């Protein structure tokens, strides 16, 4: 690798971010905990109060529906009280502030009465949809396969009915009463709610806290009400807000078409009559349209605000390909000895808190890895060890900001490189093995084709060459039947096998540095031992440097030449493996080593023979 850019100044601007590789999840979890862990929750209503959109739309809706409730008091006329002399009276006529319609009925009064019609439609339609949908969703989601299949079938059937048409056809049954129509419409809306609830329940019912409740003797109904429903209520409330809007719209639509009783004042009927008189009295059509539009728009916007409040607002999209975000650094380049393959100096990484401040999770890390050396980066969760590794790979999450330091690979500065500049390094000179092998294989492609793709982009060889190369690598990585694994989908191979596959892919380009993030944590001990053997053999065969991120001192003892112990974003101790294990200097290293359960200690105290049942502690 050439190092033409090693002299470029280290001062950089904040750039928009991105990464092309998804950084594994542990990092974001750790950060979420670091940022939000200690802050007490904000109640939902407080979040809504802070959202101007929610406040304004709720205000509008409250005013409109309050007017509806006050109709008997404030409406100057009855909804069907027609005065012949007032036919098509213009707005401003005394007693008829918005004028009168083609039958001489007061438009203002009819508007107020229409609000009530809309409200009743919404309550009936949404109510039925919620009751039917939630009940069926809970039953279909929580109970066995047969029950689910049955409810599923019924709701699929309901969904096949053409809604509006069915409501019109059923007019003789409902007798034209809009309330009956809305009840039926509620049933037609129920599948939407059913789907939401069923899916959420399916996810929740296998949660351990539901199992724990069952073990505690909590009955099924109570589990559903207390543990399941509380979790699913958010999405239901959001869906209900949208559904209220659509019931009102459908009721108006039907009335506009003239379906149902003409006696009932409603926005649809009013718009329809206004339409007929469009050339005689153009404003007649305006009032009900405005009010209907205001109501439905407010409901949709309120629904969006509710969604934001419940689920958090959508992350902002960011530009692809710009590399990691780097804050202005005025770092004096610290001397890195030439034998060093990777030199990290004063690396600092920060994450923004919800309030916009930056919190540093890595606070000035210095690391050196010589060519062909195995370095173990050890620490507990949240110590920043994975973040350090991701920064080296250039795959920090979008919101992360590198606030200082430098990462020199073969003398070349990696911080501030764009994705395009990073690409020739990643996967070639620097390779990566993840913690969760399964989630790093695409489930919809065969294992072989994924490896071939990587090998070809790294080495630029033909497809055929790449395939024979991959087969040889798979065999080298201890896969008994390489051809069969090559043709398998990821779900057809075991976790240990998947890790072998990923190792094969990582070493395909004979990297100079292999970064392994907890490579054996997800594996069984016997498989772990085999994978460690494989890594050790490959390391000496290819003479590559390895950076192993782990919390397991056994893995470190097995593999590493040197160890760096990390705590709360800082390296507290670095040294040869034998030194660290034999004579740890730092207090924290001693604590960590002391916490390792002793090989030779057994439980010696006998079981308590006379159990003091029910005894207080």
Partner 1 sequence: MTLLEIDGLRVAFPGRGFRAAPNEVLHGVSLSVAPGETLGLVGESGSGKTTIGRAVLGLVKPSGGAIRFEGREIGGLQGRARRGLSDDIQVVFQDPYSSLNPSLTIGDTLSEPLIIQGATRRDARARVRTLLDQVGLPSDAVERLPREFSGGQRQRVAIARALGPRPKLIVCDEPVSALDLTTQALVMDLLVDIQRQTGVAYLFVSHDLTVIRHISHRVAVLYRGDLVETGAAVDVTSKPEHPYTRTLLLAAPVADPAEQRRRRDERRATASAGVDR
In whole angstroms, the minimum distance from the beta carbon of 22 to partner 1 comes to 21
**Paired tokens of 20:** 């092309």
What tokens appear for 104 in the block? Answer: 């001489």
**Which residues contribute to the site for partner 1 (CB under 8 A)?**
33, 36-38, 40-41, 207-209, 211-219, 222, 226-227, 230-231, 380-381, 495, 524-529, 532-533, 551-558, 577-578, 581, 591-593, 595-599, 601-603, 605-617
Nearer to partner 1, 294 or 527 (CB): 527
Q: Which is nearer to partner 1, 280 or 596 (CB)?
A: 596
Q: How far apart are CA 417 and CA 326, in angstroms?
A: 10
- Within a 13 Å sphere around the CA of 383, how many CA atoms are in the beta-carbon half? 20
Which residue do the tokens 């033909």 mark?
462
Judged by beta carbon, residue 416 or residue 575, the one nearer partner 1 is: 575
Quickly count: other Cβ atoms within 10 Å of residue 597's Cβ.
Answer: 5
State the DSSP string of 547-607: EEEES-HHHHHHH-SEEEEEETTEEEEEEEHHHHHHS--SHHHHHHHHHSPPTT----SPP
Contacts of 171 (CB under 8 A, 6+ apart): 181, 259, 260
Give the Cα-Cα-Cα angle 162, 164, 168 (nearest 5 degrees).
110
- Residue 562 CB, nearest distance to partner 1 (Å)? 11
Select 216 or 444, whichever has its Cβ closest to partner 1.
216
β 545-550/513-517 pair status: parallel
Measured from the CB atom, the residue of 457 and 585 that comes closer to partner 1 is 585
Q: How far is the CB of 88 from partner 1 (least distance, A)?
A: 57
Name the minimum Å distance from CB 510 to partner 1. Answer: 25
Cα torsion at 518, 520, 522, 527 (round to 10°)?
180
Q: Which lies closer to partner 1 via its Cβ, residue 393 or residue 479?
A: 479
Q: How far is the CB of 387 from partner 1 (least distance, A)?
A: 16
Q: Which two tokens stand for residue 592?
A: 């960590």
Nearer to partner 1, 517 or 558 (CB): 558
Q: How far is the CB of 581 from partner 1 (least distance, A)?
A: 6
Residue with Cβ nearer partner 1 (144 or 460): 144
Q: Which is nearer to partner 1, 299 or 560 (CB)?
A: 560
Q: Give the closest residue to 388 by CA, choosing from 426, 415, 362.
A: 362
CB 193 to partner 1: min, Å:
20
User: With contact defined as beta carbons under 8 Å apart, do 442 and 490 qualify?
Assistant: yes
How would you label 392-403 residue by residue, b for 16+ Cβ within 10 Å and e otherwise?
Answer: bbbbbbbbbbbb
Least distance (Å) between residue 593 CB and partner 1:
7
- Measure Cα distances from 77 to 81, 83, 96, 257 in Å: 6, 10, 9, 25
Assigned token pair, 178: 């809009």
Minimum separation from the CB atom of position 600 to partner 1 (A):
8
Q: Between 167 and 378, whose beta carbon lies closer to partner 1?
A: 378
Residues with Cβ within 8 Å of residue 273, at least 6 apart in sequence = 101, 102, 103, 284
The CB-of-389 to partner 1 minimum distance in angstroms stands at: 18
């Amino acid at each position: 690798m050439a190092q033409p850019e090693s002299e470029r100044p280290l001062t950089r601007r904040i750039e928009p971010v991105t990464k092309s590789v998804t950084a594994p999840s542990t990092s974001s979890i750790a950060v979420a905990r670091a940022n939000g862990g200690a802050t007490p929750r904000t109640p939902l209503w407080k979040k809504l109060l802070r959202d101007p959109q929610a406040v304004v739309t709720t205000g509008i809706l409250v005013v409109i529906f309050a007017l509806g409730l006050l109709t008997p008091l404030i409406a100057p006329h009855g909804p069907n009280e027609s005065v012949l002399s007032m036919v098509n009276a213009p707005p401003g006529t005394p007693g008829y502030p918005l004028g009168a319609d083609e039958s001489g009925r007061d438009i203002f009064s009819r508007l107020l009465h229409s609000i009530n019609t809309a409200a009743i439609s919404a309550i009936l339609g949404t109510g039925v949809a919620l009751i039917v949908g939630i009940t069926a969703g809970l039953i279909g989601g929580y109970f066995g396969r047969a029950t689910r299949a049955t409810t599923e079938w019924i709701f699929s059937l309901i969904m096949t009915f053409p809604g509006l048409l069915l409501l019109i056809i059923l007019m003789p049954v409902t007798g034209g009463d809009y309330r009956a129509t809305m009840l039926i419409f509620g049933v037609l809306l129920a599948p939407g709610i059913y789907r939401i609830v069923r899916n959420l329940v399916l996810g929740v019912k296998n949660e351990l806290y539901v199992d724990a409740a069952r073990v505690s003797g909590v009955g099924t109904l109570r589990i559903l009400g207390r543990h399941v429903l509380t979790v699913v209520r958010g999405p239901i409330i959001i869906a209900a807000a949208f559904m209220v809007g659509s019931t009102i719209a459908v009721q108006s639509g039907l009335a506009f078409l003239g379906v149902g009783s003409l006696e009932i004042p409603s926005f649809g009927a009013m718009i329809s009559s206004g339409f007929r008189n469009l050339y005689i009295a153009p404003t007649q059509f305006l009032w009900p349209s405005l009010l209907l539009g205001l109501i439905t728009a407010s409901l949709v916007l309120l629904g969006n605000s509710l969604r934001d409040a419940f689920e958090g607002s959508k992350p902002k999209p960011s530009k692809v390909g710009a590399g990691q975000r780097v804050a202005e650094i005025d770092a004096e380049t610290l001397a890195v000895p030439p034998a060093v393959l990777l030199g990290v100096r004063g690396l600092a990484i920060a994450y923004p808190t919800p309030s916009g401040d930056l919190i540093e999770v890595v606070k000035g890390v210095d690391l050196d890895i010589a060519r062909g050396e195995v370095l173990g980066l050890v620490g507990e969760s949240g110590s920043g060890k994975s973040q350090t590794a991701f920064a080296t790979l250039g795959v920090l999450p979008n919101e992360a900001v590198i606030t200082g330091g430098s990462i020199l690979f073969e003398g070349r500065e990696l911080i501030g490189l764009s994705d395009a500049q990073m690409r020739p390094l990643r996967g070639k000179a620097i390779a990566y093995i993840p913690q969760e092998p399964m989630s790093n294989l695409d489930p919809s492609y065969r294992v072989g084709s994924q490896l071939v793709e990587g090998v070809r982009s790294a080495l630029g060889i033909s497809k055929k060459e790449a395939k024979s190369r991959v087969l040889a690598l798979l065999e080298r990585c201890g896969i008994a039947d390489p051809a069969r694994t090559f043709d398998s989908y990821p779900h057809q191979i075991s976790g240990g096998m998947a890790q072998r596959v990923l190792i094969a892919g990582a070493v395909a380009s004979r990297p100079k540095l292999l970064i392994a993030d907890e490579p054996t944590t997800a594996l069984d001990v016997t498989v772990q031992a085999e994978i460690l053997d494989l890594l050790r053999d490959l390391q000496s065969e290819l003479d590559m440097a390895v950076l192993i991120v782990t919390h397991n001192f056994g893995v470190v003892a097995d593999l590493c030449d040197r160890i760096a112990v990390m705590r709360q974003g800082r390296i507290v101790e670095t040294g040869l493996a034998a030194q660290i294990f034999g004579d740890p200097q730092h207090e924290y290293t001693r604590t960590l080593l002391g916490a390792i359960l002793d090989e030779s200690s057994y439980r010696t105290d006998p079981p308590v023979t006379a159990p003091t049942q029910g005894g207080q502690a």
